[in-house]
Chain A
Amino acid sequence: MGSDSAPAPGPSYVCGKCKKALVPGKVIASYLGSEFPIELWKCPECGKVLVPRELAAGKMLQVEQALEDK
């Protein structure tokens, strides 16, 4: 999957503040001075981003640990 392709449709999540359904969108993940553009579900109004468990405990953790050893 490339950076421009949209995530597959997911469950219906709604921003608690704006009451808008989350949509796939580009966000920036950063750690220890490195930044990565990725696509996650976010609120189209306020920009609230959802980081699901699979991502946090999987790839994100791997990248964090790799960066920490650099």
Chain B
Amino acid sequence: MPRGNTNWHTLSIGVGGKAGLSPGLPKQPNLQIGPGCNMDREQVRRWEGQCIEEQPPACTASCPLHVDARALSVAVAAGDFKKGLALLATAAPLPRILAHVCEHPCESNCRRRDAGDAVAIGLLERACAEFAGSAPAVRPQPRNYKRVAVTGGGLSGVSAAIRLAIRGYAVTLFEAEPRLLDRMRNLAPAVVPAAAIDADLALLAKLGVTVQCEVLISRHAGPLGVDALVAGYDAVYLATGPELFDEKCLGLGRALNGRIRIDPLTLATSLPKVFAGGAQRYAPAPYSAIHSIADGNYAAVSIDRFLQGASLSANRDNQGPYPSRLFVNTTGIAPLPAVPLAPGTHGFTAEEARQEAGRCYPCHCLECVKVCPYLEDYGSHPKSYVRQIYNNESIVMGVRKANRMINSCALCGLCAVVCPEDLNMADVCLDARQGMVRAGKMPPSTHDFALRDMAFSQSEAFALARHQPGFETSRVAFLPGCQLAASSPDHVASGYEHLCKTQPGGVGLIFQCCGAAARWAGNEAMFQEALSTLQAAWDSLGRPRLITACSSCFKSLRENLPHIPIEPLWPHIDLTQISAPSGAGKKLAIHDPCSTRGWSEVEGSARTLLHRLGVETQELNAPGLTTCCGYGGLMMFANPAVADKTVQRRGAQSDVDYVTYCAMCRDRFAHQGKRATHILDLVFGKDKADAAARPDPGFSRRQDNRARLKQTLLRDLWGETEKPMEPTRPVLIPEQLKALLEMSMIVEQDIERTIEHAEQSGDTIEDQATGRRLASLRVACVTYWVEYSEQDGSCVVHDAWSHRMEVR
């Protein structure tokens, strides 16, 4: 093995083709995102909108303050009460008081109610207040010189005062009683302890809020009336309780109940500077602590916007409680009762709180992520992926980090079936791939092997369209599919012989690619060309009805060439004409290829055939929920690790052998060591052969099988002999090396061609120490290197590798 001593470890990539050598791998240039994205921005927004994972859980959505009760439960379950209190403080300026007096409307919306009692969120909040110690430090914004007056030292007024002081305003808080939060102070200490109230109120002094108690702001005009506040301050928040204002007070517009007319969204009154809320808004409804605090928050937002000259109403649609769209699948979750409060206590112990919080699921949708190893592998959910993909497509200069994510999707559509909003990541990824190809930004190596394999199927080495020997016309034609020919050429020959025997009027034979690989690769031009070639083959046989053994061909034609009649092979198998079908009494689990999703006639006809064969079948999933084998969407080329995980997970669903009717699915299972049978193994296979143990033929054999199948049929059926493409000298590859080459996607045909070229041209490098030769040959965009030696008239291969860079 040659070992080059180069300075490549110091190589860096110059952007835009600039050559250079400098330490390290390429550095990320400044990322530039431009307007040239190929994806339709509106479509991207629609896709993002379909994913509901980022919708808040029902507890949060139904809370007037939108407390993140889900995160709070998770924190408490982990014993992190400090984080729980911090979450409360994020939503409410008086977190300890809120924790004790909140009416917790969240609990009536808690999805735990589907499986047991609602999570006792109110008591969890109380536990946070009791066990957290200090609340997180508040960092106010720099002080500005705008003055705000807040009248009323209840929960609403104090909340607004704190929020506005944090925003930097000079706030004066007026309270008629001798102390703030008089209503809270009058509650029993067991309900809300004085220490909790004191701790929350301490923030007022820290923030520099001027508090004036025993100052009754008159509801009439006068020196201590609202008129004076309006004149002396930049904004006023009236949180004075439910009492009626003087009719003549400043001309404030009044509602039918005699109280101030308040805009329900912004809490604005008829006077631009004046906002009002709390009990003045809700009366005569019963007092609500959480709604009072919420109004303080809403008023602070409005006053801040008013003083900044911003819109009062923009982007506040979900300000208060609203129904969440988050879907939570509670099917199969075991019911759990709430942790009971010990008699005579008002709150949980820390341990009880942890236990109770542990009953929170927590609520998520993630229906697609649960069923798809690909979506799971990237650690997030489709809305995030759509955004990453859109950003990836928009990059003008910089690293496109989502390329592999885009190319790893199997395009199988299972996500759309399980998604409550029908979001199909296949649409997203296919659109992105097509855009990448159009823009010349598809990484060339990702799909190169698959597309070259497709080109092989379209080449003279395999492609064929013939009438049945002895016939001038074809009433039907057999389209077995390239991968069945690649995997089980004998079944193709047997299937054709069977159709010739059972179908009257001549049976044509078409070996041609349906273009699925090109479509999956996002190469629309190549896909359309493949369809045209197939159409031409069909035309050349007089447009017969097609019978196919490939579900990808079936889907491809039904969706893209719907004028071509095509049916699955399975109902056309006449078992009375089969010499020794096997399968009777066998117990097999059915794996449907993902390309049959939505095509129940294919799935149904395969089951009928299995039934006729006497197979005892087991279903792996409900109809329409089959999974990919890791080949779909060319996943196995873009992301072999996820493709393997995909087929392994599917293979682990049942201990019994699988039966499928896709050659690629069968071989993918075989490659992972899962025993799997192709349905035609049961029809045409010999009973004594253990078809489920048949190994994956591998890439090299797949090409060889196709070429030999064509040569064999031409010779045996049409009496034609093509010149065999044998190398001038036999090439021997050790089995151990074959496995390595398979992983490197170097097929034996490329090795043979490289050696052939070297032997004929003399273009080699010789290792004088070992007597071995190095041959190299550039095929398409890849340079192959083969290290070999001559032994007894054969070429024995010792190693082979490839690269895409050109070296001169």
Tell which of B20, B403, B805 touches A30, judged by Cβ atoms closer than 8 Å.
B805
Residue interface bits A1-45, CB-to-B below 8 A is 1, else 0? 111010110111111110000101001111111111111110100
The docked-state distance in angstroms from the alpha carbon of A43 to that of B776 is 14
Is B137 at the interface (CB under 8 A from chain A)? no
Q: Are A51 and B807 in contact (CB under 8 A)?
A: yes
Residue numbers in A under 8 Å from B9 (CB-CB): 1, 59
Q: Which residue of A lies closest to B400 (CB)?
A: A69
Q: Which residue of B lies closest to A62 (CB)?
A: B25
Q: Are B808 and A13 in contact (CB under 8 A)?
A: no
Q: Are A31 and B400 in contact (CB under 8 A)?
A: no
Residue numbers in B under 8 Å from A59 (CB-CB): 6, 8-9, 11
Residue numbers in A under 8 Å from B13 (CB-CB): 34, 36, 63, 66-67, 70
Is B275 at the interface (CB under 8 A from chain A)? no
Q: Are B19 and A35 in contact (CB under 8 A)?
A: yes
Q: Are A16 and B7 in contact (CB under 8 A)?
A: no
Instruction: Give min CB distance, B171 to chain A, whole Å.
Output: 53
Tell which of B5, B10, B399, B802 touches A8, judged by Cβ atoms closer than 8 Å.
B5
Instruction: Give min CB distance, B150 to chain A, whole Å.
Output: 55
Q: Are B7 and A50 in contact (CB under 8 A)?
A: no
Is B172 at the interface (CB under 8 A from chain A)? no
Q: Are A10 and B3 in contact (CB under 8 A)?
A: yes
The docked-state distance in angstroms from the alpha carbon of A16 to that of B285 is 98
Q: Are A10 and B807 in contact (CB under 8 A)?
A: no
The docked-state distance in angstroms from the alpha carbon of A52 to that of B787 is 10
Q: Are A2 and B765 in contact (CB under 8 A)?
A: no
Interface size class of B (residues with CB under 8 A): 35 or more
Tell which of B17, B397, B783 touches A34, judged by Cβ atoms closer than 8 Å.
B17
Tell which of A10, A27, A60 touches B5, judged by Cβ atoms closer than 8 Å.
A10
Supposing A1-B9, A51-B803 touch, asked if A68 and B25 sit within 8 A by C-beta, the answer is no
The docked-state distance in angstroms from the alpha carbon of A57 to that of B801 is 7
Residue numbers in A under 8 Å from B10 (CB-CB): 1-3
Instruction: Give min CB distance, B563 to chain A, whole Å.
Output: 39
Tell which of A1, A40, A63, A64 touches B4, judged by Cβ atoms closer than 8 Å.
A40
Instruction: Give min CB distance, A61 to chain B, whole Å.
Output: 7
Residue numbers in A under 8 Å from B16 (CB-CB): 33-34
Residue numbers in B under 8 Å from A48 (CB-CB): 763, 765
Residue numbers in A under 8 Å from B806 (CB-CB): 29-31
The docked-state distance in angstroms from the alpha carbon of A17 to that of B773 is 12
Q: Are A68 and B445 in contact (CB under 8 A)?
A: yes
The docked-state distance in angstroms from the alpha carbon of A3 to that of B803 is 22
Instruction: Give min CB distance, A8 to chain B, whole Å.
Output: 5
Q: Are B443 and A68 in contact (CB under 8 A)?
A: yes
Is B469 at the interface (CB under 8 A from chain A)? no
Supposing A27-B808, A66-B25 touch, asked if A51 and B4 sit within 8 A by C-beta, the answer is yes
Is B26 at the interface (CB under 8 A from chain A)? yes
Q: Are A55 and B6 in contact (CB under 8 A)?
A: yes
The docked-state distance in angstroms from the alpha carbon of A64 to that of B682 is 45
Supposing A2-B7, A39-B7 touch, asked if A52 and B766 sit within 8 A by C-beta, the answer is no
Is B774 at the interface (CB under 8 A from chain A)? yes
Residue numbers in B under 8 Å from A27 (CB-CB): 807-808
Residue interface bits B778-808, CB-to-A below 8 A is 1, else 0? 0000010100000000000001011111111
Instruction: Give min CB distance, A55 to chain B, whole Å.
Output: 5
Q: Are B398 and A70 in contact (CB under 8 A)?
A: yes
Q: Are A63 and B11 in contact (CB under 8 A)?
A: yes
Q: Are A68 and B803 in contact (CB under 8 A)?
A: no
Is B769 at the interface (CB under 8 A from chain A)? yes
Q: Are A31 and B805 in contact (CB under 8 A)?
A: yes
Is B30 at the interface (CB under 8 A from chain A)? no
The docked-state distance in angstroms from the alpha carbon of A37 to that of B804 is 16
The docked-state distance in angstroms from the alpha carbon of A8 to that of B805 is 23
The docked-state distance in angstroms from the alpha carbon of A39 to that of B808 is 11
The docked-state distance in angstroms from the alpha carbon of A69 to that of B7 is 23
Q: Are A60 and B765 in contact (CB under 8 A)?
A: no
Q: Are A69 and B14 in contact (CB under 8 A)?
A: no
Instruction: Give min CB distance, B282 to chain A, whole Å.
Output: 57
The docked-state distance in angstroms from the alpha carbon of A10 to that of B791 is 26
Q: Are B19 and A36 in contact (CB under 8 A)?
A: yes
Is B444 at the interface (CB under 8 A from chain A)? yes
Residue numbers in A under 8 Å from B6 (CB-CB): 7, 38-40, 55, 59
Q: Are B765 and A50 in contact (CB under 8 A)?
A: yes
Residue numbers in A under 8 Å from B801 (CB-CB): 53, 56-57
Instruction: Give min CB distance, B606 to chain A, whole Å.
Output: 39
Is B15 at the interface (CB under 8 A from chain A)? yes
Q: Which residue of B lies closest to A48 (CB)?
A: B765
Q: Are B803 and A60 in contact (CB under 8 A)?
A: yes
Residue numbers in A under 8 Å from B8 (CB-CB): 38, 55, 58-60, 63
Is B767 at the interface (CB under 8 A from chain A)? yes
Q: Are B765 and A54 in contact (CB under 8 A)?
A: no
Is B343 at the interface (CB under 8 A from chain A)? no
Residue numbers in A under 8 Å from B1 (CB-CB): 52-53
Residue interface bits B1-45, CB-to-A below 8 A is 1, else 0? 111111111110111111111000110000000000000000000
The docked-state distance in angstroms from the alpha carbon of A40 to that of B776 is 15
Q: Are A14 and B11 in contact (CB under 8 A)?
A: no
Residue numbers in B under 8 Å from A1 (CB-CB): 7, 9-10
Q: Are A14 and B768 in contact (CB under 8 A)?
A: yes
Residue numbers in B under 8 Å from A41 (CB-CB): 2, 4
Q: Are A16 and B765 in contact (CB under 8 A)?
A: yes
Q: Are B803 and A61 in contact (CB under 8 A)?
A: yes
Is B178 at the interface (CB under 8 A from chain A)? no
Residue numbers in B under 8 Å from A58 (CB-CB): 8
Residue contacts A-B, CB under 8 angstroms, 9 given: A10-B2, A12-B769, A13-B774, A40-B807, A43-B765, A52-B2, A68-B445, A69-B400, A70-B15
Q: Write the residues of chain B forming the contact surface with A, with a CB cutoff of 8 angstroms.
A: 1-11, 13-21, 25-26, 397-401, 403, 443-446, 758, 762-769, 773-774, 776, 783, 785, 799, 801-808
Other A-B pairs, 20, CB within 8 Å; known A14-B766, A28-B808, A60-B803:
A16-B765, A17-B763, A27-B807, A29-B807, A36-B14, A37-B21, A38-B21, A40-B4, A41-B2, A53-B2, A53-B785, A54-B3, A56-B785, A56-B802, A60-B8, A63-B25, A63-B26, A64-B445, A64-B804, A70-B398
